Amino acid sequence: MDHSELEMKFTILDTETTGLDPLQSTVIEIAIWTVEDGKVIDKWATKVKPSRQDLALAQKVALEKNGYSANPEAWSGAPSWLDIAPTVARKLRKTMPVGHAVHFDLAMIRACMERHQLEEWTPFRGLDTMALAIEHLSPLGLRSFSLDRIRQWFGWSLEGAHTAEQDVADCYRLFRLLHQAGPMTRARIRAGRWWRSKR
């Protein structure tokens, strides 16, 4: 990977879905932030209204985790995938997608495009912040690398977790911390954890 590309322009991506199988599940919330020259220049997020068939195939645990079960009315006025597909494709075109388990998000987006017989372009690869966390945080003792576990490990708030926009915000925070991290960064992380343990 050319690190200079990430210093110029990339996107931070997250999806919330009705399940884990791209062939039977769909995206019900998506957030994409565009970062250029180290600054967030665009924030875009939306809920996506699922069909009855989507809900019939949905996994209960997924809908509970992302908040659909508790408040389905929040999706009542949301756009469909057909409505947002051109925007999603435009925002991801010619950028490096960055996300936590980003291969899952990209697979879900491609499946939604194909299900609706759309020819909108979606990248196949991106930079995975989970891989960055494994590389840099496992030497410091972290053994589970879900975004929730990482939040807890750093002492970050869990408020808003499993909404696409908050997950994107924390993914970007993690990326900024770990991208090109060296020994000094790891020393600061270790010192910060020690200090929080003493408070």
Q: Identify the structural domains of the chain with CATH numbers, from first to last.
A: 3-198 (3.30.420.10)
pLDDT above 70 covers a percentage of the chain that reads 90
Does residue 2 have a pLDDT over 60?
no
Q: In what order do the strands lie in the sheet with 39-47?
A: 39-47, 27-36, 9-17, 96-99, 127-128
Give phi and psi for 74, each to the nearest 5.
Answer: -65, -20
pLDDT digits over 56-107, tens only? 999 999 999 999 999 999 999 999 999 999 999 999 998 999 999 999 999 9
Give the bridge partners for 15, in sequence order: 30
* Average pLDDT score over residue span 108-120: 92
Amino acid 127 reads L
Banded model confidence at residue 1, pLDDT cuts 50, 70, 90? very low
With 0-12 CB in 10 A as exposed, 13-18 as middle and 19+ as buried, what is 10? buried
pTM of the model: 0.90
* Average pLDDT score over residue span 15-35: 97
For the chain, the C-alpha Rg in angstroms (whole number) is 17
pLDDT given at position 199: 62
